[in-house]
Amino acid sequence: MAGIAAGLEIGGVSRYLIVPLAAAAVTTLVLAGSFRRVELVLLVISSVFITYIASGILAHPHWGEAARGLVVPDLPVQRHAILVATATLGTTLAPWGLAFIQSYAVDKKLTPRDWKFERIDVVVGAVSTGVIGFFVVVACAETLYRSHTHINDASDAAVALTPLAGHLASTLFAVGLVGAGLLAAAILPLSTSYSVSEAFGKEGRVTGNLRTEPIFFSTYIAMIALAAAIVLIPGAPLVPILFLTQAVNAVMLLPLLAMIAHLTRDRALIRELRIGGDSACAAWATTALITVTVAVLGVFSLLPGPSATY
């Protein structure tokens, strides 16, 4: 919900108008839609992410420096920089995403015959996330960072983007932010609903309804209402909310990744689907990287220093 409000505030639309409408729209989509319809709508919404690529190109970056940054990262050893790195990990390997994929596959009634296509889906999604993330960084580096603009409100982004990259880049960036917000507003509550239902020994099903799946749909409605209520708090800082929640994601990743890495090597449980040594090393290396990042952030957070800016 914060992403929707932040994106539309760039265009001058009040959060108090759009957030209730968005909440009603995504709730209606899931409550009244079939699985296929929900899936199709979410796929269409995800196509809006191409606007981030266009926004990055319109910013006219120095492509040589951007390519070098992909290979040779430059991270100052400061609290805010470590927070950015932690939030980036949290938003890329979101814990809700790991839980959502397995529940969604069950709800979609995939069989072992379909798993190869699901793997392709996951790989394409992961690569697309990296490509889109690259252009988001490029757009922000060439505009917000170059003008030394601190973002505490969506309107700040518009002010910095427009003179350096033009109105079109600013608009496209806002459209991408709204699309990401709509997608998150629909999927994150679904992930929570799946997990809560499974905790009670029930299978969450999008094709059900409030009467047949009371836990699943009640949880979904509650999550939508809670998200909307937080965003509608007068003066709530939307950009810091978006930013800091991703850092929380990174912290939550640690036990989840460790559990997944352990379970996927359990021969008695997974049998022939048990992952190999290379995959296990990659999983534990990722877990170790996030552990170090979170630990360093914890140390820096205890040290005196300037407040974070965005």
pLDDT in tens, 124-153: 888 988 888 888 888 777 777 776 766 665
Residue 188 lies in domain: 2-76+95-237
pLDDT tens, position by position, 35-48 = 788 888 888 878 87
Q: What is the pLDDT of residue 219?
A: 92
Residue 89 domain flag: no
> Does 121 reside within a domain?
yes
Q: In this predicted model, what pLDDT tens digit does every residue of 218-275 receive, in sequence order?
A: 998 999 888 888 888 887 776 777 778 888 888 888 888 888 888 888 888 877 778 8
Q: 107 in a domain, yes or no?
A: yes
Q: Where are the alpha helices (DSSP H) in the chain?
A: 2-10, 15-32, 35-46, 50-58, 63-71, 79-92, 95-107, 115-140, 154-165, 167-199, 214-231, 238-263, 267-270, 277-302
Asked, for residue 69, whether it belongs to a domain, the answer is yes
Which pLDDT score is estimated for 1?
Answer: 63
Instruction: Give the percent of the chain with pLDDT over 90.
Output: 2
Greatest mean pLDDT among 12-16, 56-60, 178-182, 245-249 lies in 245-249
φ, ψ dihedrals at 3, nearest 5°: -65, -40
What's the mean pLDDT when you consider all of the chain? Answer: 79
37 in a structural domain: yes
How far apart CA 292 and CA 286 sit, in angstroms, is 10
For residue 292, tell me if it sits in a domain. no
Q: Which amino acid is at 31?
A: L
**Alpha carbon distances (Å) from 20 to 51, 170, 182, 229, 298:** 25, 24, 12, 9, 36
How many distinct structural domains can be found in the chain?
Answer: 1
- Flag whether 251 is in a domain: no
Residue 291 is assigned to a structural domain of this protein: no
